[in-house]
Amino acid sequence: MTSTSRLYRGFEIYPLVYPHCTTQAGYGHNYDEGFDASVRITAPHADTDGSQGQVFRVPESHPFKNSGDARRASTVYAELLIDGGALHQSTLSER
């Protein structure tokens, strides 16, 4: 799966989407159970080695029906975190 990011108010947003049920050894992926989502938010000009940033799980009581819904929800959740002041550039750059 390709890693796509977008820039929002100076922060990089990376949606993380994965199957709700883990894959068992010897079986294929189980996408019928839906998808969960998280989002990785990195500060502007963060190191490219991946050491900067934080990951937040999208709070949802039920799995998303498809990966597109999960990806959109993770982007919206990141924007809410950034707009709500839960993230500060200094907080992300200290990690």
User: What is the model's pLDDT at position 90?
Assistant: 46
* pLDDT at residue 88 tops 70: no
Predicted model pTM: 0.76
**Domains in the chain, ordered, with CATH?**
6-94 (3.30.160)
Query: Tokens 């079986």 belong to which residue?
Result: 27
Give the pLDDT band of residue 3 (cuts 50, 70, 90): low
Q: Average pLDDT in the 13-17 region? A: 96
The Cα diameter of the chain in Å comes to 45
Report the C-alpha gap between 35 and 56 in whole angstroms: 15
Which has the closest alpha carbon to 94: 56, 59, 43? 43
DSSP class of residue 85 equals T
Distance of CA 31 to the CA centre of its chain: 18
| Strand 6-8, strand 35-42: pairing | unpaired
Higher pLDDT, 49 or 11: 11
Contacts of 22 by beta carbon, 8 Å cutoff, 6+ apart:
none
* pLDDT at residue 68 tops 80: yes
